[in-house]
Amino acid sequence: MNFAVLFEAQNLALFGTGILTTLTLLFASLVVGAVMALVFALLLTGPWTPLRWLVGAYTYVIRGTPLLIQVYLIYYGLGQLEWIQARWDSVWPWTHFKDPFFCALLAFALNTAGYTAEMLAGAIRETNAGEIEAAQAYGMSRFQVMLRIVLPSALRRTLPAYSNEVVMMLHATSLASAVPSLVDVTAAASSIYSQYYLPFEAYLAAAAIYLVASFCLIGLFKLGERHFLAYLAPRKH
């Protein structure tokens, strides 16, 4: 065992870069994915059948294929298309597909959007009919019912499942190491392993970083659940 190597300045800096890349990828993909998921969930539960089928097909493909394959298809696959190659030097947004970070971010955002959309759509469908009828009795329009009653309730009830999705996305960011020149926590550990031939020490340090980050995320979501889902807790007599 030679854990002292991990505390050398250059290796600490490498892990620091990896942590920054991992957290940036995580939170950026969650923000972009959450916006997409909200739109997709509304379409999945909306009255427009063609759009409902189209979004349903998207979420089926996303949930039915490995994230690593999705990363490869975006980073390597799209670059093989002549139509994109003719434009990615000067035409936005194709110029971004030369950036490894953008490709990884796009893959993670599309992936989490597919899973989150289905979770949110399920919560929307399970909204108590009495709440909707009461809102309609007050004279609210369909849009007002969705905005003031259904969505707030669905978002709160989705919180426990979404916390699992966030932790899974944190772990999934380790796949960013498959993209060349992108240094996340796993890539940092791999670099130390290849340089010092210390696989156990390098990957154990990476595992500890993911564990601490997961613990912090779970704690934050527990606080959020305690606040936003307090009305669902059994009443004490």
Pairs from 135-141 (Cβ < 8 Å, separation ≥ 24)? none
In this structure, the chain runs to a length of 237
What is the per-residue pLDDT for 189? 94
What is the per-residue pLDDT for 158? 92
On whether the CB atoms of residues 121 and 157 are closer than 8 A, the answer is no
Mean of the per-residue pLDDT values of the chain: 89
- d(CA 174, CA 181) in angstroms, rounded, equals 14
Tell me the C-alpha to C-alpha distance, in Å, between residue 62 and each of 12, 66, 124, 187, 209.
36, 8, 21, 25, 28
What is the per-residue pLDDT for 237? 53
The pLDDT tens digits of the residues spanning 53-96 come to: 999 999 999 999 999 999 999 988 877 777 777 777 777 777 78
- d(CA 198, CA 1) in angstroms, rounded, equals 8
What is the per-residue pLDDT for 14? 94
Q: What is this structure's pTM?
A: 0.90
Share of the chain above pLDDT 70, in %: 97
> Is the model more confident about 190 or about 225?
190
> Is the model more confident about 180 or about 18?
18
In the chain, the domains with their CATH numbers are 3-230 (1.10.3720.10)
What is the per-residue pLDDT for 181? 82
What is the per-residue pLDDT for 233? 61
What is the per-residue pLDDT for 231? 63
- Short-list 118, 184, 183, 207, CA closest to 154: 118
What is the per-residue pLDDT for 232? 61
- Short-list 188, 214, 215, 184, CA closest to 201: 188
